[in-house]
Amino acid sequence: MNLLLDFILRLSRFAQTIAGIALTGILGLTVTDVLLRSLGRPIVGSYEIVALMGALVVGCSLPFTSWVRGHIYVDFLVQKLSEPLRQGFHFATRGLGMLLFFLIAWNLFKMGADLQNSGEVSPTLQIPFYPIVYAVGISCFLEFLVLLGDIVKLVRGKYE
């Protein structure tokens, strides 16, 4: 079981690296575009590129953030529950989250296939949308795996 958790962690870190690269790219592109605009030479399509990379940042950062519990977690009500009820609550919420992210990933894969078949591209730079949609779908499936890992930790009694 440790192999599964290690595998999920490695995939989550890889996705986080992609998110970091995309965020750095957004920063560099925006700064460069602002500087060049002041010289009368804006970067054509910078809005499109920032929007597409923004989708990568949000999608790819989700699994690792969830793994390390870096998101906002309001637990003052949950902490008042007894240990068995608290574990049941965590199990139920992780199960519902798994269902949600599996459905999101499934629909993003279907949407990516539709975009790929239709050949839809961005208006200015003609960048195809489907690779970004597939990447966010993979990240949502990875979030499904992270939540599965949380359930494994719950069952093993190693959930913090």
pLDDT at residue 58, as a whole number: 95
Tell me the pTM: 0.89
Q: How far is residue 82 from each of residues 67, 86, 89, measured CA to CA in Å?
A: 24, 6, 10
Contact 145, 11 (CB under 8 A): yes
- For the stretch 31-82, pLDDT in tens is 999 999 999 999 999 999 999 999 999 999 999 999 988 776 667 777 888 8
